[in-house]
Amino acid sequence: MIAVNKKAEQRTATRLLRQLRIRRINVDVAGLVVHTSNVSREGAQLVCPAMRFPALQRQLIAERVELSIEIPTGREITALVRVRYTCPCDDEFLVGIEFESFRDGDAAGWYAYIDWLSNPVLRPV
């Protein structure tokens, strides 16, 4: 089973500050849809309702997990990820993931999305 970490997350990449541009993004993990609005170039923090976490936890046992992320441009990004932590938070579980590899061309799409989020010229005022 995946160990539940009750300590604060430990990021290896800079987290993008929540801004008006970052909205909730759907993430499909083996048919179970969760969401995130907490993203970085190298990973994300998924949010899963506590009642659905046991089903997700079974999928997270694998060494690498494949997931699909639908970014706001309508593009779907498929990646293999490693789970860095899980942590209960109120009536949800937070799941920190780190990207290990992307499907052909999807890395460029993800990085372009992250660059768009982090570009101060493009941010709304």
Q: Answer with the residue of higher pLDDT: 55 or 5.
A: 55
Question: What's the rounded Cα separation, in Å, for the pair 79 and 65?
Answer: 8
Question: Could you report the per-residue pLDDT of 67-116, keeping only the tens digit for each?
Answer: 999 988 888 999 999 999 989 988 999 999 999 999 999 999 999 988 88
- Which CATH number applies to 25-118? 2.40.10.220
Q: Bridge partners of 98? A: 43, 82
Residues ≥6 apart with Cβ < 8 Å to 30? 59, 65, 66, 67
Mean pLDDT over residues 21-46, rounded? 86
Residues 68 and 77: beta-carbon distance below 8 Å: yes
Tokens 């290896």 label which residue?
12
State the chain's mean pLDDT as an integer. 81
Q: Give the pLDDT confidence score for residue 91 in this predicted structure.
A: 92
How much of the chain, in percent, has pLDDT values that exceed 70? 77
Question: Could you report the per-residue pLDDT of 25-36, keeping only the tens digit for each?
Answer: 899 988 889 999
Domain locations in the chain? 25-118
Q: Give the pLDDT confidence score for residue 94 in this predicted structure.
A: 92
